[in-house]
Amino acid sequence: MVTYTAPLEDIRFALDLWSYDETVPALPGYEDATRDVVDAVLEEAAKLCVNELLPLNRSGDEEGCTFENGVVRTPKGFKEAYQAFIEGGWAGLAADPDYGGQGLPKTMQFTVEELICSTNLSLGIYPGLSHGAYNALALHGTDALKTLFLPKLTDGTWAGTMCLTESHCGTDLGLIRTKAVPNGAIGPGGEPAYKITGTKIFISAGEHDLTENILHLVLAKLPDAPAGAKGISLFLVPKFIAKEDGALGPRNGVACGAIEHKMGIKASATCVMNFDEAEGYLVGKPHSGMRAMFTMMNTARLAVGMQGLGLAEAAYQSAVAYAKDRTQGRALKGAQHLDKAADPIIVHPDVRKMLLTMRAQIEGCRALATWVGMAVDVAERHPDAAQRQEADDLVALMTPIIKAYFTDMGFDVANLGVQVFGGHGYIREHGMEQLVRDARIAQLYEGTNGIQALDLVGRKLPQGMGRLLRRFFHPVLGFIEDNQMDADLADYVLPLAKAFGRLQQATGWVAQQGLRDPEEAGAAASDYLRLFALVALAYVWAKTAQAVLAVPEAERQAFHKAKLSTARFYMTRILPQTSSLFAMINAGAKPIMEPEEAWF
């Protein structure tokens, strides 16, 4: 079984690093969300995850979901664990109090999602999809739809999904064939009703036994729809028609046709969903479905990034516990544990390098995610429009980076965990191979990581004539200029400055060459995203070192000393990858695009 304790001390450090108490509780509506409240919520979330979710992770993977006669059943214990989840109010953690939510900041939502993903990703996917559906409906639904459906999503008695993909199209959603036809009927609150017909695949949580109703947000095309993505509309299609008082009515024309047999996340039902003239209600304006759906997708992309982080943390903690317990050979400098026949493998340089690589990536990513999570709250609540725009720009810029880099990192760290365990990592007993299998999907869904890289270079970099870039470049440059003469910080600021210089040059290269030939930008995209992410982590590690050095040396605990040591490891052992990435970017598209198709 996986070894896991919620990393609350590090989460608190990340909140302090970005001055949470001076930022988020100062926002309108979040006055009560102080650190004391946050700490109490985290403590309770940790108990739920460790006591209720973690014990079901392996058994859920082994049993998986079952499908029979159109009915999907989740593994043993999942219904009870989900009930405990919603009874604790976790489904509505960041939801509007007007709909029964707790109204806590999005920063808290991201943090709790990490804990859930560390302990039981499959179970966490169900409320995660509901959270995305809530956001889309809250922003784009009519008052009638929100009044009827949001309270049910908030209390978790109803669930939500995203129904985008069809068998012939995934990323290119303009090709969808699902149709929506007005049927002349009137839905809840006087909403016009439509008949939705089509088939969607790869629908996470499309059918299950955890809730009494499921609300599907479905992309479809109206009869007068223009071609391509501009003709997509978004519809809410409930499994059961809802009555005006919220009671369940007749079964709708939507059914699960099959579930997928997957490499990982086996306790999460991934469904083929058939819509046969199912009643649905328009969300947002006609032919504006992509805008509404992106509300869900962007939230989901950040959440998927947290999945990578959560799985990485579980892999790291398990690997550390094993490395301290497993004895094999003697330390190269001589026996360290004379009372034992061999030394624990943590004495060996290669094992320590793997563990430090895992730790440096995880803690850096957690700090970066906290910065972006707080920016989400500022973007939504700050009274000053300029401040809201700046925060929103940062979130938009960092979303593809968090989704892609965090999930790549999660998979890499899980694999390192298996390597630390050696042969024992390859068998089911210790749970490491499950983490690898579960982590792999995060690099694929909600837009593959290659798509995230194209989004970064093709949309985010040129947006507003580079306006989004300034939200990251300016604070990093300011930090370097303010601290470059500080001798105590030299080991952290100088490597950051060099890597940041490479990022600036690479950005100019991608922008210039991309205008000349879009394939140049495409060939550089994935390497550029990774370069950007490594510099972002260098920035948060340099800020971490600054925060630790501000603590009087006599007062520094082992936690602080470990932070400085890990920061130094990151700067010397991981950040140098930016040099090779910079060289690969500058190699251009020719080595990739020159080979003829027939040669493959």
Separation of alpha carbons 232 and 288, rounded Å: 6
- What totals of helices (H) and strands (E) does the chain contain, helices first? 18, 11
In order, the DSSP letters of 380-411 are HH-SSHHHHHHHHHHHHHHHHHHHHHHHHHHH
- For the stretch 27-34, contacts whose Cβ atoms lie closer than 8 Å and that sit 24 or more positions apart, written own/partner, are 27/105, 27/377, 27/378, 27/381, 27/382, 28/381, 28/383, 29/103, 29/381, 30/103, 30/104, 30/105, 30/377, 30/381, 33/104, 33/105, 33/108
Burial (0-12, 13-18, 19+ Cβ within 10 Å), 11 = buried
Between helices 490-516 and 467-483, what is the axis angle to 10°? 150
What is the C-alpha end-to-end distance of the chain, expressed in Å?
43
Rounded to the nearest 5 percent, the helix, strand and coil shares of the chain are 65, 15, 25
- How many CA atoms lie within 13 Å of 482's alpha carbon, on the beta-carbon side? 9
DSSP 459: I
Phi and psi (nearest 5°) for 393? -60, -45
Q: Specify which residues 324 forms β-bridges with.
A: none
Q: Indicate the residue type of 170.
A: G
- Of 87, 8, 13, 3, the closest CA to residue 41 belongs to 8
β-strand partners of 71: 68
CA–CA gap between residue 78 and residue 61 (Å, rounded): 11
Q: How far is the C-alpha of 496 from the C-alpha of 568, rounded, in Å?
A: 11
- Reduce the secondary structure of 480-542 to three states and give it as a string: HHHHCCCHHHHHHHHHHHHHHHHHHHHHHHHHHHHHHCHHHHHHHHHHHHHHHHHHHHHHHHH
Q: What's the CA gap between 117 and 53, in Å, rounded? A: 10
The residue from 446, 519, 520, 596 that is catalytic is 446
Residue in 406, 323, 337 with CA at minimum distance from that of residue 365: 406
Tell me which residue of 5, 13, 99 sits closest to 543, measured CA to CA: 13
Q: Is 63 a residue of the active site?
A: no
Closest by alpha carbon to 179, among 278, 323, 38? Answer: 278
Tokens, residue 160: 């939500």
Spatial separation of the C-alpha atoms in residues 232 and 448, rounded to whole Å: 21
* β-bridge pairing 270-283 and 232-238: antiparallel
Q: How far, CA to CA in Å, does 266 sit from each of 55, 120, 197?
A: 15, 11, 28
Active site residues: 446
